[in-house]
Structure 1
Amino acid sequence: MPATQKEMQDARLPLGYRDFCADLLIPLNKCRSETYYLPFKCQDERHVYEKCQYDE
């Protein structure tokens, strides 16, 4: 389900990232901030987001 404008504003997504895959980027950014951007902690979320970007 696509993210709403309100959800994207609350997540402070830059305008360039407010696209079809924004609903996947919000939990990815949350995971990244909670794990201090350790690259191996949010692999599943990152791969799902990158696949969405590739398909789009």
Structure 2
Amino acid sequence: MAGPQMQATQEEMAAANVDMVWRDFCAHVLIKLNDCRRKSLYVPWKCEHERHEYEKCQYKDYKKRVAAAKEASS
């Protein structure tokens, strides 16, 4: 089974000023979220959908890592 694929390239992440610590498998969603935040001047309720999508992506990635760790330990 192939592992997850990055959807955002290093160039896209660099252009979007994504810090190295946030360059994970959800970076493509984070780029959209940060773009929305900048356009709305960081008004918290303007980007709720994008934030939810980012949090959902992070949760799914976490669940995959936990499952992989369990599989590796058994």
Q: TM-score range by the shorter chain?
A: over 0.9
Partner of 2:57: 52
1:43 aligns with 2:48: yes
Aligned length: 56
Q: Distance in 2 between matches of 1:5 and 1:12?
A: 10
Moved over 2 A (4+): none
Normalised to the residue count of structure 1, the TM-score between the two structures is 0.95
Extract unaligned runs of 5+ from structure 2.
1-5, 62-74
Normalised to the residue count of structure 2, the TM-score between the two structures is 0.73
SS of the equivalent of 1:44 reads helix
The structure whose residues are more often helix, as a share, is 2
Q: Which has the larger radius of gyration?
A: 2
What do the CA deviations read for 1:6-41 (whole angstroms, capped 9, x no partner)? 000000100000000000000100100110111110
The higher relative CO (CA closer than 8 Å, separation ≥ 6) is in: 1
Residue identity matched to 1:18: R
For the aligned residue pairs, the C-alpha RMSD in angstroms reads: 1.0
Partner of 1:13: 18
Q: Distance in 2 between matches of 1:28 and 1:11?
A: 11
* Aligned 1:24-39 pairs, distance under 5 A: 24-39=29-44
Extract unaligned runs of 5+ from structure 1.
none
**Identity, % of aligned positions:** 55
